[in-house]
Structure formats: C-alpha cells, structure tokens
Amino acid sequence: MTSLEVRDLKYLYDKHIVLDGVDLKIKEGEILGILGPNGCGKTTLLRNLNKNLSPEGGCILLNDIDMEKIQKKDVAKEIAVVPQTNEIHFSFTVRDIVAMGRMPFQGMLGGETQTDKEIIESAMVQTGVMKFADRHINSMSGGERQRVIIARAIAQTPKIILMDEPTLHLDISMQFDALNLVYKLSREQGLTVVIVSHDLAMVARYCDRIVMLHDHRIHALGTPEEVLTPENMKTVFNVDAELIYDKKIKKHTVLLHDSYNVI
C-alpha cells in the first residue's frame, strides 16, 4: 500500500505565493483530478508531489515519510510522471523510451535484467505500442507518442502516476484514447492516478474526486457532484455551467450556458 499526503503545503515563486496551506490525502486506487484555471498552481502542486520542487512550508508525505528525506530514485520507484509535453528531440526508438522507465531500478553499471525486459514488453503490450517497438519516437504522431510516454510510466511499475495536462496537444479522438487507457489501467491494476487539468468535462468524466484550486488554495474537494456545482464553476472559471449526467455514455459531463456548447 502506497500513501501520499500533502500537509499545509506552501510554495513561493519569486516571493509570490503560488500555493498557500494546501492539505490533501490522496486515496489509493483513485483517479484524482486537480482542476483550476491557468496560473492557479496546479502544475506546481504536481511537481511538489514527485519531488521536482521542494515546499517552502509544510510537507509531502510518501508512506508517512517526509519526501524531503527520501532519495529521488526511491521516489521514482513509487511515483511515475506523464509530463505536459511529449516532444522527444532525439531519435530514440519506442523501446528505448519505454526502457527508460526501468532506470530507477538499475545500478550505475547494471544493464537490463530479464525481469526488466519482461516488464518493458508488458508495458508496451498494455499500451498498444508493441507494434511500434523499433520505430523512432520523433516519427510518430502526438497521440502515438503519448501512448509511448504512458508505457514508459507503466514500465516504472509505480503505485502512483502523475499526469500534467495529458490531453493538451491531442485531437479529440486521441484524448479519449489516452484517458480511456489510463482509466482501464487504474481500474484493472489499482493504480492511483492524479491528473492536472483545466478541462471541466474531462475531469467530470474520468475522475473519482476533484480538487478545485482557486486563489492559491483548495476551493473545493470531493466527488464531481460535490465540486462541479454552478456556484464553484462560476467563482473559479467565471462560466455559467452545470454538471449533467449523460445517459448514453453513463458518465457526467459539463454543460456550458450562454454562447457555449456542451464540452
């Protein structure tokens, strides 16, 4: 069992408050959405969660231990990251990229073990990129690259995956492909997934709980029904909207009013 908890987290950038007094317990096996407008601190919170940033105050606890006392390599054995951009500027093959997920488990001079090879292959099979194993990553489409980056995260055998705007540069069909894949892996393997987004409909559709950030603090925390109220969406995003249940897909979505369409 892997636990991740945020206690009274404070973070400043150039003396400006980015996060101020954030408290959050992430539940094992859940898909948690971190939602808010641009500049509210979503990515800063995510980068604190995997020790890419260090808090100015408060702490992040991984398995009840202050993350500042844990080596980055050991954090990477528990937590994998799917970054906002999937651009790769070197001509690695798909297998090369996925194999990078095993680096936290390898010594300075150690190569791949048979176990590593089996895990890499399994990650490629699970994400549907095995057929691309020998292709160069920079010859692939954005959606294909995103699957490869997710495969790299799976090869890391993490208990928690952090995703920063995972659909930002994808077309609509690829967005659904990527998120349906993550949802499937979470449900089948018990992975905890944390997704940063400003997309109201996406978090309503896929997330078990939502953290809504506003003015550097948690404005609301709970299920989509509890968080995505018309009042909260008006306050945080300045839109007139409501959460509705789509009987056809059996999931929630968000209806924007005025001149907007359903998103």
Residue 32: inside a domain, yes or no? Answer: yes
Positions in the chain short of pLDDT 70: 86-88, 108-110, 258-263
pLDDT of residue 262: 46
Question: What total of structural domains would you count in the chain?
Answer: 1
Q: Name the residue type at position 121.
A: E
3-state secondary structure of 5: strand
Report the candidate in 48, 59, 47 with the shortest Cα–Cα distance to residue 6.
Answer: 59
Does the residue 195 lie in any domain? yes
**Count of CB atoms situated within 10 Å of the CB of 187:** 11
Position 205 in a domain: yes
Structural domain including 87 reads: 4-256
pLDDT at 53: 94
102-113 in b/e form (b: 16+ CB < 10 A) is: bebbeeeeeeee
Residue 262: inside a domain: no
Q: Which two tokens stand for residue 226?
A: 């509890």
- What CATH number does residue 130 fall under? 3.40.50.300
Beta-sheet pairing, 16-26 with 4-13:
antiparallel
**261 within domain boundaries:** no
In whole angstroms, give the CA distance from residue 93 to residue 58.
41
Tokens of 64: 């009840």
Task: Please report the pLDDT score of residue 86 as a whole number.
Answer: 64
Residue 146 lies in a domain: yes
- Of 178, 217, 221, the C-alpha closest to 30 is 221
In a domain, 263, yes or no: no
Residue with tokens 């059996």: 250
The angle at the Cα of 112, spanning 111 to 118, to the nearest 5 degrees, equals 180
Domain assignment of residue 118, yes or no: yes
Q: What is the pTM of this model?
A: 0.92
Q: Where are the beta strands (DSSP E) in the chain?
A: 4-13, 16-26, 31-35, 57-62, 65-66, 79-82, 160-164, 192-197, 209-214, 217-222, 241-246, 251-256
232: Cβ contacts below 8 Å, ≥ 6 apart:
212, 219, 220
